[in-house]
Amino acid sequence: MKHRLKRILRGLWARLLSYSGLYLLVDRLMPRRMLILGGHCVEHEECNGCLPGDMKMSPAGLEAVLRRLGRRYELTTVTAGLEALAAGRGRSLVALTMDDGYRDNREVLQPLLAELDATATIFIESAALDERKVNWTHKYFWLLDRIPPAEFAREYATHCADERLGALLVAGAVGARPAYEMKRALKYDADQAERDRTLDEVFRAHGGDERALCDRLYLTWEDARALRAAGLEIGAHTVSHPVLAGLDPKRQEEEIAGARRALERGLGAPVDIMAYPFGRHWDVDDGARAAVAAAGFRGSITTHAGTVGPGSDPLRLARWMIDDRTPAHLLVAEACGGFDLLRRLGLDLSE
């Protein structure tokens, strides 16, 4: 089905459920479920001003979502939610998750959750805490916060041996969504090691200081332990946030089992759940899923929409990435199982 038509039908169905009150009936008829919501940051200029807007929610926007869903569903962590589903007890659930391990999660998110008597699962990249290193996307965002896309593309091309990639970036810089198009090329069309080296050169040529950027953006071990002590769950998000698909088995093991070992060492507590970096199905392959199972994780989360039930594949847990533009009627429709109901009828409007 054409994407635009799907979007229109999705909006119509969600409005019908939400504004007619039909969602109450669907919620009762559909099996118990957990809706996992995903985000990265809560807006805080000092902590995350240089990150793109679609990685941040306003405190008021996030509070509205949690208050609304919290009236009907139990707000939980992912692992506690999976346990409740398996045990077949309680209400349907909503689990908020935040990826990467940003400092605002302690400065802004945790106090907000405490006020709402809510909790969340935070997925942490262990190299940021262990080595104070940021993954390549942060050097990229930092540069785009300072120089226009076309200048970035030109500078990258002069430092990079890969002419084809340089040309893709130059073309992306004049596209409709330059930041997105160039990031996509850097993610899927570059050799990962070569890209990391080149970005680091451009970053340093502009006076970038990786340690200072990491201190500004990321949690520390002390922060992570404090979040856990406050009742949040800490999950793994690999060591250095690569696209896992296509990595050799040894690197997959280092990134996946290595992250679990690092987090358990840093926290002094078990870590049972993981979220795949980037999280689309094509970012993960059978080898990566096998490595998640072999590392002993209870499951791992994607960024494909849907809800989770007792019979869901633990290595492909669905999650809905939200931001301030997510309409309330879509949230209501997904949480009540409205899109699951259509899926059972053979119509997948979820994304």
Name the residues that contact Zn ion, by CB under 5 A: 99-100
Smallest gap from Cβ 260 to Zn ion, in A, equals 16
**C-beta of 100 vs 255, nearer to Zn ion:** 100
Contact 100, 55 (CB under 8 A): no
Separation CA 299–CA 343 (nearest Å): 23
**C-beta of 182 vs 243, nearer to Zn ion:** 243
**C-beta of 13 vs 320, nearer to Zn ion:** 320
Separation CA 78–CA 38 (nearest Å): 11
**C-beta of 113 vs 243, nearer to Zn ion:** 243
Smallest gap from Cβ 48 to Zn ion, in A, equals 14
**C-beta of 153 vs 236, nearer to Zn ion:** 236
Separation CA 317–CA 301 (nearest Å): 5
Among 52, 68, 72, 51, residue whose Cα is nearest residue 60 = 68
User: Residue with the closest Cβ to Zn ion?
Assistant: 99
CA dihedral of 160, 165, 167, 169, whole degrees rounded to 10: -90
Smallest gap from Cβ 83 to Zn ion, in A, equals 25
Separation CA 305–CA 148 (nearest Å): 33
Separation CA 338–CA 22 (nearest Å): 9
Backbone angles phi, psi at 298, to 5 degrees: -75, -25
Q: How many CB atoms lie within 10 A of CB 227?
A: 24
**C-beta of 65 vs 128, nearer to Zn ion:** 128
Smallest gap from Cβ 101 to Zn ion, in A, equals 9
Smallest gap from Cβ 55 to Zn ion, in A, equals 9
Among 115, 70, 44, 1, residue whose Cα is nearest residue 331 = 70
Contact 112, 59 (CB under 8 A): yes
**C-beta of 27 vs 99, nearer to Zn ion:** 99
Smallest gap from Cβ 6 to Zn ion, in A, equals 26
Contact 25, 336 (CB under 8 A): no
Q: What share of the chain is helix, strand, coil (3-state, %, to 5)?
A: 55, 10, 35
**C-beta of 160 vs 318, nearer to Zn ion:** 318
Smallest gap from Cβ 192 to Zn ion, in A, equals 15
Smallest gap from Cβ 301 to Zn ion, in A, equals 11
Among 313, 321, 312, 251, residue whose Cα is nearest residue 279 = 321
Total number of residues shown for the chain: 351
